[in-house]
Amino acid sequence: MLVRLIDSMSTTEPLAEVFSDDSVLRAMLDFEAALARAEAKFKIIPAAAARAIAQAAHPEDFDVAALARQTLRAGTPGIPLVKALRQKVAERDSAAADFVHWGATSQDVADTALVLLLRKAAAFMNADLSRLQSVLLRLARQHKNTVMLGRTLLQPAPPVTFGLKAAGWLGSVRRGHARFNHALSEASVLQLGGASGTLAALGKRGIEIGEEVAKRLGLSYPDAPWHSHRDRLANVVCACGILTGSLGKMARDISLLMQSEVGEAAEQGGSGRGGSSTMPQKRNPIGATLALAAANRVPGLTAAFLSQMVQEHERAAGGWQAEWATIADLVQSTGVAVASMAEAAEGLTVNEKRMSANIKSRRGTVFAEKATLLLSRKIGREAAHRLLEQATDPAQERDGTLSELLQQMPDLRDLIDKEVLRKLEDSEDYLGVAREFADRLSGSGPTRPHRKK
């Protein structure tokens, strides 16, 4: 499947194939074939009719362009699909054609097809999510002791480890992955309700037939049809929104670390990746850029779906009709973010020397909190904070490191032990439990259950 040029930065080839015309048509025809076979099993329609319907349900035999034009006029893909399928069945068995779509309604085929497409898309997304988590776990363990600047509000802060940063990404992606799969599992249910959601056309065998259709399609059977109740799909949509936001956070971090004046990490280049049409020296954060683009799109799509949930009575006018395009765009955007960050993480280089140099370039100022705590025991918290503000004021342009400046201040010289002062700018001495947190996030350390208040 070739990705359309206009979609080339908002999907992947596998996901474009999932939502291709052939794939969508296949999902709808799979529903019709499964419905016919289930109804034949319970003698609602003749077995010969079910066979003829299944034999005619091949997407390559249908005119997709014609179906698309007719769908725009019908307001649902089900009507032109059923008409075309009846024509195909009639060519084999004229009597069997009357039993196509027996007892079902147009939204049944559309919703079930959408669920089948989501399940196919999830297989590709899960593979990429597993790739990403595997790489992040390796980075977290490999760089457990790689010290780097912490940054708050984009300004230098006390040191952290790159292992903790990678483990933070990992924890968020893991939670998002679990949330997505849980939502998808709940949404993987058949839609079969007939005209008003009662399956009246199937008499008292509606539930048995529905359970059989669901079994044939590998779906669960819900307590009742959900034509105007879209909460399960909304869960999937919101899970995608949260997951894409987590990937966007990771992408933002990497793109900032790649800035030449920071230079602490870099995505892989070469083979047409990350270059510039005018500047040969450029090495751009392409994976991060694509994930950030998705993170910009997905919140709007999520909001659009949530606004589509307000649906009237037993069948909506305009609500579910809007969902196909919204969900297709949203899932593909989430998928390209996952795939892009998996590729970025796999090729990520970490510049430990630059991380160390960036800490040293701050001349100890990032340890002002540590110095404040040491002085607080002698002169009180507020006085200590005020003195450290003066000592680290960038407008003063003082020479020397923080420890050297403190030694030059007569009022403080005797308040802090010289040995303690000498270790003031030792990053290893001010990492707290960064390694323990990284271990907990990466699953290699003890974790505690959340306590209920």
Which residues are identified as catalytic? Answer: 276, 315
Instruction: Spell out the residues 6+ positions from residue 179 whose beta carbon is closer than 8 angstroms to its own.
Output: 239, 242, 243
Question: 49 and 36 in contact (C-beta within 8 Å)?
Answer: yes
The DSSP code sequence of 182-249 is HHHHHH-B----TTTTS-GGGGGGHHHHHHHHHHHHT-B--SS--TT--HHHHHHHHHHHHHHHHHHH
For β-strands 265-266 and 349-350, DSSP reports them as antiparallel
Question: 112 and 141 in contact (C-beta within 8 Å)?
Answer: no
| Whole-Å CA distances, 334 to 157, 252, 340, 341, 446 | 32, 16, 10, 11, 32
> Hunting for tokens 């480890």 — which residue is that?
161
Question: 156 and 427 in contact (C-beta within 8 Å)?
Answer: no
Q: E strand or H helix at 166, and its extent?
A: helix 162-187
Torsion of CA 118, 124, 126, 132, to 10 degrees: -140
Q: And the tokens for 11?
A: 């999907």
| Whole-Å CA distances, 442 to 38, 160, 253, 445, 453 | 47, 16, 19, 8, 26
Instruction: Report the distance separating Cα 128 and Cα 353, nearest Å.
Output: 31
Identity at 177, one-letter amino acid code: H
Instruction: Report the distance separating Cα 319 and Cα 41, nearest Å.
Output: 34
Q: And the tokens for 66?
A: 């014609």
Instruction: Spell out the residues 6+ positions from residue 39 whose beta carbon is closer than 8 angstroms to its own.
Output: 45, 50, 99, 102, 103, 202, 209
Q: E strand or H helix at 66, and its extent?
A: helix 64-74
